[in-house]
A and B are shown apart, each in its own frame.
Chain A
Amino acid sequence: MRFEIFSLIAVVGAFVWAFRALPMRLDLARMPEKGALARFFAATGVAAIATLFAASMLPEFAGGRSLPALIGSAAVLAVYLPSRSVVLATLAGAAAYGAGFAFLA
């Protein structure tokens, strides 16, 4: 294993660990239930997932794969709404995207 590759992995990995594990050491017990920071953390979850979905869709549009991406997203909705299953919806979305990609190719 090359030293420069391992160094990069080790340094970035240390930051990733610190970002994920250390903020939980904050003393949340003293945080007011309806305080601004508590509301901020409560809203972060849904905002983060919405952001990651948007960020992963943008390259699809920029890369000319908007139709397969829309077909895949529609499949996720079509399967999730009746089944309420994250597993089935995810698999259906990926399968529909692959099928749309093959059809257009």
Chain B
Amino acid sequence: MAQDFRRGALIGAPIVLGYFPIAFSFGVAATKAGLSPIEAVVMSLLMYSGAAQFMAIALIAAGAGFWISVATLVGMSLRHVLYGPSMLRAGGQSAPPKGALAWGFGLTDEVFGAGLGAFARGQAFTGGFIWGLTLVSYAAWVGGTAVGALAGASALAAWPAVDAGLSFMLTALFLALLLSIMQRAELPVIAAALVGTVGLSFAMSPTAGIMGGMILGALVGTVLGRRDAV
């Protein structure tokens, strides 16, 4: 159990490196938008969803209505419905390890991607592993937010290049995760997801682009998988 936990924490190291600075930027942005440090930290503790949190502070700063904000933020998070079952499938499990109602909250985009990469390299889907992976990522996110919120709104004003580099950290992490899990047979899935995301983002909204691109890619994978299975 302890060894698996350490292994999960190690697999989570790149996420920690990505999360801490991004969460720091979030803490700074939240205080800039008028949230108190406590409100920023509670948001990271209870929402734990980067894109939705950045959107939340934009909605709060713009004075958006409560239910409009809820609908927007819930819509942005809908994609997570697919992660748990997909991860169980990738890890060769028919049921999740114990405590899924607790560690399941930690299944962010990056944790999901890192978990898939580890399973593809032969890592077993154990309770210790998933707790290690999810806890270090969560701690980095909440800790980064606290440091950023306490540093205050002008923390990065004198360092625009550092601010810019930090803002690209998650994009770089997504690309690195994609490279780590992709196989040649999955190129049509990736192409469909990219085309779907770009097309729907322009035609409708970024949220529709994320959900639609993901579903389109998964549908292409479903059809191709069927051909392979026949």
Contacts and interface: CB of A to CB of B under 8 A. Distances in A.
Interface residues of B, number: 103
Main secondary structure of the interface of A (DSSP, over half): helix
B180 to A, nearest CB: 6
B178 A53 contact: yes
A44 B112 CA distance: 11
Given A16-B47, A28-B95, A46 B181 contact: yes
Contact of A97 (B52, B83, B172, B224): B172
Interface string A81-105: 1001011011111110111011001
A16 B181 CA distance: 25
Given A34-B229, A42-B86, A76-B175, A55 B81 contact: no
Interface in A30-74: 34, 36, 38-58, 60, 65, 68-69, 72-73
Contacts of B220: 43, 47
Nearest to A57: B171
A4 B198 CA distance: 34
A42 B175 CA distance: 19
B168 A52 contact: no
B169 A90 contact: yes
B7 interface: no
B218 interface: yes
Interface of B: 13-14, 17-18, 21, 35-36, 38-39, 42-43, 46-49, 52, 56, 60, 66, 69-70, 73-74, 77-90, 93-96, 100-102, 104-107, 109, 112-114, 116-117, 160-162, 164-182, 186, 189-190, 192-194, 196-198, 201, 206, 209-210, 213-222, 224-226, 229
5 contacts: A12-B56, A40-B222, A43-B222, A94-B165, A99-B161
Across the A-B interface, the 10 shortest Cβ-Cβ residue pairs: A43-B221, A98-B165, A47-B217, A21-B104, A93-B172, A29-B94, A39-B225, A13-B46, A102-B161, A97-B168
